[in-house]
């Protein structure tokens, strides 16, 4: 059987029309901006209703479930978006086959997290572990969303993809506001509302995906080929989330829940610039994969734009850090500004690296993308092990920012290697920006 990764683009798979990626990118950034507002509302309500302790417990539980879900989803989002974009006729078979393959993987993820809860929350005061016992079953939703996002991106359903990514936090924010107004906000009720919102979004998305793509026969041969692509790139997904979230997951064993709550706010705010770029990166993979000739132009133009937007956003956040945190989250959270300032420089580079790694995926080198992320993850793991116990949240912020910078440099080198581009092509001179914008369309 021909490896789908090497198969030519089928005639049915029409490239995005001129200007398509630009328009999709603008739509994505607009939706992402509104999504961040919804997430902000969610974070503010949690912070004000539950305080640093409650927010710390809730955020840590969500982090653990998401890490497990992303780890055992085996790169389904990247794999499906890549292969369906290149060979749409395989979509029905891929949908059925991946549904079957993900069932045991999801069960494994739930079992592992249930077993590790007492280890993760060694400093727990008796609240996190009982709630975590039932909440870890929501890993099913995490994996399901990854599956559905891959399906939607593969068929270029960009508007629905963005709408669903907005709907989940918007519904959660609305539910949190209702709970707060009713004075019924607890860690448990907050997690129930968030899980229900995710479930609604997942059902809507899967209904659309199945109606658009359809179900086909099970093909384990095709499944193995696409699973291998996903597994080679899965390290990138896992390492990315480990790099971005391991600090929060490890902190409960060394510091109080209140400190975790403060640091979680700093992390959430600092990663705003990354989340915007990372959402757009999901579009870059199928766009560049379906149009290989202009793929590098699309990736580089997206890289420059994302870097510029991330830099502007980070500067604004840095200038307003302390008053903004106090105004939005409450005076108790002003202390998170120090961690935020330490995280922002790395966050900008982390944002830009997400586009470069999307380009590496689109070039058919998922393991190379994994390597860049693993290098950064090793910096995170080693740094946290060495410095976290003595340095607390300050050490966590410095280590994370250094890890983000490492990923950026590794991704830059790796993308140049897989494309063969000269270093000068990555420098955004005015003339080159104008020419590339015309070429990328």
Mean pLDDT of the 118-137 span: 78
What percentage of the chain has pLDDT greater than the value 70? 86
* Number of alpha carbons in the 13 Å side-chain half-sphere of residue 296: 11
Q: Please tell me the predicted confidence (pLDDT) of residue 386.
A: 87
DSSP string, 251-269: GGGTS-HHHHHHHHHHHHH
200 versus 429: the higher-pLDDT residue is 200
Residue 215: half-sphere exposure toward Cβ, Cα within 13 Å: 9
Where would I find the beta strands (DSSP E) of 185-325?
Answer: none
% of the chain beyond a pLDDT of 90: 19
Which residues, at least 6 apart from 360, have a Cβ–Cβ distance to it below 8 Å? 366, 368, 369, 372, 411, 414, 415, 418
Separation between Cα atoms, residue 440 and residue 20, nearest integer Å: 9
Reported as a single tens digit per residue, the pLDDT across 391-423 is: 888 888 899 899 999 999 999 999 999 888 888
- Rounded to an integer, the average pLDDT of 327-354 is 85
State how far the Cα of 107 lies from the Cα of 105, in Å rounded to an integer.
Answer: 5
Q: Is the dihedral of CA 314, 320, 326, 327 positive or negative?
A: negative
Q: How many residues in total does the chain contain?
A: 441
Q: Are 153 and 81 in contact (CB under 8 A)?
A: yes
Angle (nearest 5°) at CA 295 between 293 and 299: 155
| pLDDT tens readout for residues 230-243 | 877 666 666 666 66
Q: Which of 6-10, 108-112, 394-398 has the lowest mean pLDDT?
A: 6-10
């Amino acid at each position: 059987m021909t490896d789908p990764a090497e198969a030519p683009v089928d005639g049915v798979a029409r490239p995005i029309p001129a200007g398509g990626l630009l328009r999709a990118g603008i739509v994505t950034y607009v939706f992402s901006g509104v999504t961040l507002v919804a997430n902000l509302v969610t974070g503010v309500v949690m912070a004000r209703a539950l305080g640093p302790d409650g927010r710390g417990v809730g955020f840590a539980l969500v982090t653990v479930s998401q890490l497990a879900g992303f780890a055992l989803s085996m790169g389904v989002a990247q794999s499906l978006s890549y292969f369906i974009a290149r060979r749409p006729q395989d979509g029905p078979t891929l949908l059925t086959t991946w549904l079957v393959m993900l069932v045991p993987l999801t069960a494994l993820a739930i079992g592992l997290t249930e077993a590790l809860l007492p280890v993760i929350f060694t400093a727990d005061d008796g609240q996190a572990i009982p709630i975590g016992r039932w909440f870890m079953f929501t890993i099913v939703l995490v994996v399901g969303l990854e599956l559905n996002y891959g399906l939607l991106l593969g068929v270029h359903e960009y508007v629905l993809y963005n709408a669903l990514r907005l709907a989940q936090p918007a519904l959660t924010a609305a539910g949190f506001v209702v709970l707060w107004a009713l004075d019924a906000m607890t860690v448990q009720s907050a997690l129930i509302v968030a899980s229900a919102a995710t479930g609604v979004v997942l059902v809507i998305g899967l209904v659309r995906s199945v109606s658009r793509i359809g179900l086909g026969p099970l093909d384990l041969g095709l499944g193995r080929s696409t699973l291998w692509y996903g597994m080679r790139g899965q390290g990138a997904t896992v390492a990315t989330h480990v790099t971005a979230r391991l600090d929060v997951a490890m902190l409960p064993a060394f510091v109080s829940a209140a400190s975790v709550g403060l640091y979680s706010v700093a992390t959430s705010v600092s990663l705003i610039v990354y989340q915007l770029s990372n959402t757009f990166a999901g579009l870059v993979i199928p766009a560049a994969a379906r149009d290989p000739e202009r793929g590098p132009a699309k990736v580089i133009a997206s890289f420059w734009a994302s870097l510029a937007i991330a830099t502007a956003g980070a500067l604004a956040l840095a200038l307003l850090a302390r008053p903004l945190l106090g105004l939005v989250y409450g005076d108790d959270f002003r202390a998170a500004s120090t961690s935020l300032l330490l995280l922002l420089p790395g966050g900008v580079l982390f944002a830009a690296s997400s586009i470069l790694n999307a380009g590496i995926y689109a070039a058919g080198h998922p393991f190379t993308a994994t390597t860049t992320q693993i290098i950064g993850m090793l910096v995170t793991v080693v740094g946290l092990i060495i410095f976290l116990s003595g340095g607390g949240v300050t050490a966590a912020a410095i280590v994370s920012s250094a890890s983000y910078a490492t990923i950026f440099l590794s991704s830059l080198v790796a993308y140049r290697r897989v494309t063969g581009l000269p270093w000068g092509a990555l420098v955004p001179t005015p003339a080159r920006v104008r020419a590339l914008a015309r070429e990328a369309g």
